[in-house]
Structure 1
Amino acid sequence: MASTYYSMGNFSSALLYYTKALEIEQKSLPSDHPMLATTYNNIGSVHNSKGNYTEALELYQKTLNIRQKILPENHPDMASIYNNIGSVYNSMGDHEKALEYHTKSFEIRDKSLPPNHPDIALNYERIQ
């Protein structure tokens, strides 16, 4: 339900349901479970969309911390979280930090995805 509300632009309802999911996951899963990383990422995206950049960064950092423990550095999911963090910094006007994270994302995607993958094109756009 949360992702549907998010897609509809109903960020308050999306946040409500993502938060409920997170509460259940925190009680039933280990603290480094990939599902927690996904939920933190999703809640971070809601905050980013609402312009709550500090909250978004905190949640994206939690996502990054979990993924760094459980995934190889060149995994496409690592590229995605670096991209998300870079987007927040860009929105905050910190273009140097944004470039740093978008570059990390690009380097991973360039090594792990086919050369014509649309995510690589996305990174080119974000780096320029």
Structure 2
Amino acid sequence: MKNTLKFTETHEWVLDNGDGTVTMGISQQAQGFLGDVVFVDLPEVGDEVEAGETFSLVESVKAASDLYAPVTGEIVEINEQLEDSPELINESAHSAGWIVKIKMSDASELDNLLSNEAYQAANEEEDED
């Protein structure tokens, strides 16, 4: 499954659901940087998001981190389990710890995202800085 994920430079992952929607969350690396996640500020279903703009927040014992929309569109589903169990992001960042589903306005925006390989390479470069 990991190879079908795409990533943003700001550490969000995206899965194209094939029906005009994407599922997104934060990457395994991001949850590792954050440490134990204690709160996720979930948006409302129906909220409009703009690619590259902040729309939510994840808080951990170490820091708070903005979430950036990977694509432009409308929030069609939120992971309500995160309200009571934000640690799902740490336990299963790329599956059970998903955050929202977005109905895309423009599917071509997916072309702007990084492949798993490109994301890993970018993070290796970041680690060397």
The answer to whether TM tops 0.5 is no
Structure with the higher fraction of residues in strand conformation = 2
- Structure ranking higher on relative contact order (CA contacts 8 Å, 6+ apart): 2
Q: TM-score scaled to structure 2, two decimals?
A: 0.26
Task: Pick the structure with more helix per residue.
Answer: 1
Instruction: Answer with 1 or 2: which has the greater Rg.
Output: 1
